[in-house]
Every structure is written in C-alpha cells, then in structure tokens.
Amino acid sequence: MLKWALILLTVFASSAGDILCARGMSSGGELSDFGPSGLARAIRYIVTRRMVILGGLSYAVAFFSLLGLLSVAQLSVAIPATALSFVVDTIGARYLLREHVPWKRWAGVACVTAGVILTVRSGPTLATARTQHAPMHAVAAAGHAGERAASVVLP
C-alpha cells in the first residue's frame, strides 16, 4: 500500500515538475541569446520565474519520495515504475498545456516508455530514474541507509 502510494507520488511529483517548468517557460518569450552575457541573463530569468521555482520544489518532492520508495520497494519494481511519468507528462501536455500531440508522438512516447522499462528493469548500476538529480547509486545508498536505520529503530 505504502509502496503504491510512493510510486504515485514519485510519478506525479516528477510530472508536475515538468509541467510547471514548461508552463513557466512557454508563457514567457523564447530564449535565444546564449552568448557570455546572454547566458547569465538567461539563467537569472529561469531561476526567478515563479512557475519554474514551483516546478523545482515539485522535483524535490519527487526526489525524496523516490528515496522513500527505494527503502520499501525493490529497485527492479521502483525504477521502472517511474517511467510512467513519460505518459503522465504527455497527458498533461495535451490537456493542461493544450499542446496538439500528433499520433506519431503518442506512438513515440509508448515506445520510449516500454524501452525505458526494459532498460532500467534489470540493472540499477547506471540506470537513471525519471527524476532530476537521481543518480541511482546515491539514491540506492540512501535508500539502504534508511532501511538500515529503520531496522535499528524498529523492533
């Protein structure tokens, strides 16, 4: 039960982060000056947009939820489940951001999701979760640390 709640939280927080960042950036103008001074201005612009800040908070929730998930579920279940956020992202893009998603994109997303599940299912070593800044070694180490701490505290 807790496992499924954490899977849902991880997937939806990660997609919410993507959707909020996309909403924040698409409602402004198109970034186009990436020269030395333009780059600094672009970064300042990104990190001060309200929707992008909310998106960043959402990514943080996804990261800690993934940590929690890894302490209660096996990697081979937890990591493939995070690939569901590709589908949630696309549905959010269609219905919340009002993008026109052509059939080729739906087909492509289906292939990518299936492919990611196959790719990450068997090996945690380098596999990346669909969550920003979630290098699997760090996450797995922290997850196991949590598990060990819990086994010390709980009878």
Rule CB under 8 A: which residues touch other proteins?
A: 18-19, 21-22, 24-33, 38, 41-46, 52, 86, 89-90, 92-94, 97-102, 104-105, 107-123, 125-128, 132-133, 135-138, 141-142, 145, 148-149
Residue 87 C-beta: closest distance to other proteins, Å? 10
Q: Which is nearer to other proteins, 5 or 111 (CB)?
A: 111
Residue 116 C-beta: closest distance to other proteins, Å? 6
Rounded-to-integer distance, Cα 118 and Cα 127, Å: 11
Query: 62-81: string of b/e by CB count within 10 Å (b at 16+)?
Result: bbebbbbbbbbbebeebbbb
Residue 77 C-beta: closest distance to other proteins, Å? 16
Three-state DSSP at 88 gives helix
Rounded-to-integer distance, Cα 119 and Cα 41, Å: 38
Residue 8 C-beta: closest distance to other proteins, Å? 19
